[in-house]
Chains A and B, each alone.
Chain A
Amino acid sequence: MGLKHKDLLGIQDLSSEEIRLILETAEPMKDIIRRQIKKVPTLRGKAVINLFYEPSTRTRTSFELAGKYMSADTINISTSTSSVVKGESLRDTAKTLEVMGADIVIIRHSAAGAPHILSKYISASVINAGDGFHEHPTQALLDMFTIKEKKGRIDGLKVAVVGDILHSRVARSNIWGFTKMGAEVRVIGPSTLLPPGIEKLGVTPYTSIEEGLSGVDVIMVLRIQLERQQKGLFPTIREYARLFGVTPERAGLARPDALIMHPGPMNRGVEISPEVADSMQSVINEQVTNGVAVRMALLYLLAGGGSPHEIID
């Protein structure tokens, strides 16, 4: 069994079987990362392009390493460095990449739906590395992988996502993923940062962090952008930290073995206190490692790979 679509535009489009397949495929990939020589020939001769319209060293590096560990030819194009992309329509860029022979294009864009345009005009596989407030599917996959690794399951867990849900593509992808995998999802944040109709996605919204965190198995903290305060969505960063910051006391309301997660980069002392970020329960660094493994799995599956065990030589 492989993936049904040529692209990964969002977790919304994946079945739970497909999510399971990606997570299973990521396991042997993680073994490769742990080796002395982190290189397998699986994607030799494949061109993987990182097309980044929005700066993100973290995600771009993760995809780049994932491609390199699998021997793909990886190329980075970012709006600031490339004249090809500058001022050119996404449609024309897509056509250019198409004729250059790209096999997989990874796109990060500030406009929701940009990956959908790309996929319409290109026969290469498109991976959404974050589009506006829409989705960031590989982040959700690495989060699910991390939880499954630590907890042995996702089904039946209580997961709380804390922060700016309205503007978060990470939150949306995670909501789709966790609900598909049978977890109970809560979203916690100030009422001005909870999107309308969110309950219809099968989650429970909370404006009290104490209520929302009580008894959960996973606390996922989102980065708060300073820009939201400037737009008047909450009064001050100080008040946000006071009302919604994840402190040791608040984290203590969750189950004793609850995981602490954050997609990074963190504003320590704002949405998460340093003690929580560095606590024994924190898996924030492992999320980064797992990000590479999950992205390797995805590249492999989209490039047409079959059983994940074939790659272990």
Chain B
Amino acid sequence: MKLLIKGGRVVDPAAGINGENDILVEDGKISAVGNNLSVSGTAGGAETIDAAGKLVLPGLIDMHVHLREPGFEAKETIATGTRAAAMGGFTGVACMPNTNPVIDSRALVEFINSRAASEGLVNVYPIGAVTKGSKGEELAEIGDMKLAGAVGISDDGHPVMNAQLMRLAMEYAGMFGLPVISHCEDLNLVADGVMHEGYQSTVYGLKGITRAAEETMVARDIILAELTGARLHIAHISTAGSVDLVRMAKKRGLNITAEATPHHFSLTDEAVGNYDTATKVNPPLRGEEDVEAVREGLRDGTIDVIATDHAPHAVEEKDVEFNYAPFGIVGLETAVGLSFRELVEPGILTVEDLVMKMSVNPARILGLVKGTLKPGADADITIIDPDLKEKVDISRFETKGKNSPFGGWELKGLPVATIVGGRVVMRDRRLWQENDKIRNTSGG
């Protein structure tokens, strides 16, 4: 089985390539990158994708996704979540352990792996819990989960409030080279807050969440990372102060990385509008100066990764009073378009930067042998049409979650093919079925 991708602009920073090239895929691996590649001597020939005018990138990896299975299948499943990922141009997703039961043991990591193998349309990388049941009381069997294939540990959504326990988790995980992914929020400061604390929360009469809730925990975790030498990754950074803290820590040479979500670089708390529960998210949408700081952090390299924190909920769960709605925004199917619109178009990031933040860096942080199109690498490839425009139509999302504040947004720069291990799973903005044949689109 061969696949030839012709005439696209290949952007592969790890290989130092940024220019027009053909890519030949054989048996799920990249077999050649170069000009005027052709398939010769094969009986069946190769299927060809004409990628002229398109960007051909190492497969995008979203390192912060909630697939909700097991336990919350009404919100999402591994099947629907990975379909959404394929539509969004992601060849791999790392899934958070806050399911029911919480992914805190080898058996549950294996469950995710086996479900992903049978149902998943893209690669799935399980993240294990830091503490048993994410209760913040005792360490989970981190070593055994690592042996079963966990790529990191996180009590996402349930921050580890006990600093001593977090310290131990960092020391322990360091032994396996696993990143500790921290959802930084001091729960006492969050209290029952539901949106960013500021003028808007005052006007709407909603309980606010101060920036300090995040920043005190970012500071704590940086100090603990310095103490333990752990690989700390700060999830969904949302405030200017947090960006500064990470920038300072990196200047001091600490091994710290950070991610930002498309909603935190695209929207302010004004989007809450008339109590739109699709904007209710944790950490909350912040002020203008925070959005600016997150963009600057992405530009100057303080923020290493763009991850969606894809958090689907059932429609009826979000269609309630703002205070009662669960936190979360779906992101897989809008991430690429928003990144182009908000970062590439205004010149904050180059396409090469974007590949670093959506493929190379997440692969490096999670210890995956991915993020490049060098010969011999797995053929995980994302093709993006930088000129393709589309209006976000939430009703057409593959994810079960319709909780997106981006409905009706005009996006330009969209994924047109997702290839996982040499297999085309999305093409021309629709999922590729098993028996679909790749049309030879050359010349048409």
Contacts and interface: CB of A to CB of B under 8 A. Distances in A.
Given A112-B206, A113-B275, A133-B205, A197 B199 contact: yes
B198 A111 contact: no
A164 interface: no
B319 A113 contact: no
Contact of A134 (B197, B205, B319): B205
Interface residues of A: mostly helix, strand, loop or mixed?
Answer: mixed
B206 A90 contact: no
B203 A201 contact: yes
Nearest to B316: A89
Given A112-B275, A116-B275, A197 B202 contact: yes
Nearest to B321: A111
B202 A195 contact: yes
A114 B324 CA distance: 10
B320 A197 contact: no
A135 interface: yes
Interface in A171-211: 172, 195-198, 200-201
Contacts of A109: 321
Given A90-B320, A111-B321, A117-B275, A169 B197 contact: no
Contacts, number: 64
A5 to B, nearest CB: 12
Contacts of B152: none
Nearest to A197: B199
Nearest to A134: B205
A172 B202 CA distance: 8
A196 B321 contact: no
Given A111-B324, A196-B197, A89 B319 contact: yes
Contacts of A112: 204-206, 275, 321-323
Interface string A88-125: 01110000000000000000010111101100000000
A113 B319 CA distance: 12
A89 B275 contact: no
B321 A200 contact: no
The winner among A112, A132, A134 for most chain B CB atoms within 10 A is A112
A132 B324 CA distance: 12
Interface string B406-442: 0000000000000000000000000000000000000
Contact of B274 (A116, A135, A197, A198): A116
Report the 6 A-B pairs with minimum CB-CB distance, sorted nearest first: A134-B205, A197-B199, A113-B275, A133-B205, A111-B321, A195-B202
Interface of B: 197-208, 274-275, 316, 319-324
Given A89-B316, A133-B206, A196-B199, 19 more contacts: A89-B319, A90-B321, A109-B321, A111-B323, A112-B323, A113-B274, A113-B275, A113-B322, A114-B321, A116-B275, A131-B205, A132-B205, A132-B323, A134-B206, A135-B205, A195-B201, A195-B202, A196-B197, A200-B199
